[in-house]
Amino acid sequence: MDTSAKLSAALTRAVERLLAALFRVLLRHGLSYTAFERVARRVYVDVALREFTIPGKKPSISRVSILSGLTRKEVQRLLAEAGAPRGIDAVPQNRAVRVLSAWTRDADFVDSHGQPRPLDPTDATSGFAALVRRHSGDMPVRAVFDELQRVGAVIGLADGRLQLVQRAFVAPAAADKIEHLGSDVPDLLRTIEYNIEQGDTDPRFQRRVMYHDVPARLIEEFRKMSATQAMALLVKLDRWLAAKTAAADATPKTNEPLVRLGMGIHYFEQREERSPSNEKD
């Protein structure tokens, strides 16, 4: 296998592992593949346009098309949509999300006060079955109910009807945590990208300690010890940056460039299948 083929194979394996971890989050919180694909196309075009220009030449639709593999027509369409809203309403939703949203907005499924009313699960005229058929396409009623129940959005009442108890597919606390997905992970990827391109001459720190086949009884001890020591290091770095930044602010230099600077630490654990050679009789 030549160098180019090896690089392509390694990149494919890395992307598969990366997407598997990402897709677990997306599926758990209701972002459909259609929504992901639309976001991916837009970001591909955006990055190609902003960061892969040829020095001295104006960015062009043709170049973006060549780099991204998308047609010129598709690139033009995506660029035209650049100013469109990018919230949950701007992309195709998980079908359970559509049903949940419609339960709070569709006049046929709210009461006189505009609140989601309890619905008969099998009523195909004005109940939950009707809601699902109207707003989820061809999805089975039971499948939509199971998904809404899984995220805690729906409960069954004593009389058999279903009650909406959570208007959002993702709880606010989870939404706050998901923000870290868009900030912490890109920082790590930028460091990895930098080290791939320039790590031989000027590497950025990127290390981890990891052991396989660790007995589960050690988890709690390691979790506490690693958290304590990691926090101590972060506090030390925070104090250093605070002092240095304050000193720099006191004696500013004209036209000195500013950067975002820091270090991230994360804990991980994953259950492993015990190999036959490690099993005891």
pLDDT digits (tens, 9 = 90+) for 253-271: 888 999 999 999 999 999 8
Q: What is d(CA 138, CA 133) in angstroms, rounded to the nearest whole number?
A: 7
Model pLDDT, residue 90: 39
What does the block give as tokens for 137? Answer: 């396409």
Element (H, E) at 77: helix 72-80
Supply the pLDDT for residue 113: 85
Residue 75 CB neighbour total at 10 angstroms: 24
* Average pLDDT of span 1-16: 90
DSSP secondary structure letter of residue 81: T
Average pLDDT over residues 142-166: 90
Report DSSP letters for 120-140, one per residue.
-TT-TTTSHHHHHHHHSTT--
pLDDT at residue 70 is higher than 70: yes
3-state secondary structure of 86: coil
CA distance 262 to 237: 8
User: Mean pLDDT, to the nearest integer, of 132-139?
Assistant: 86
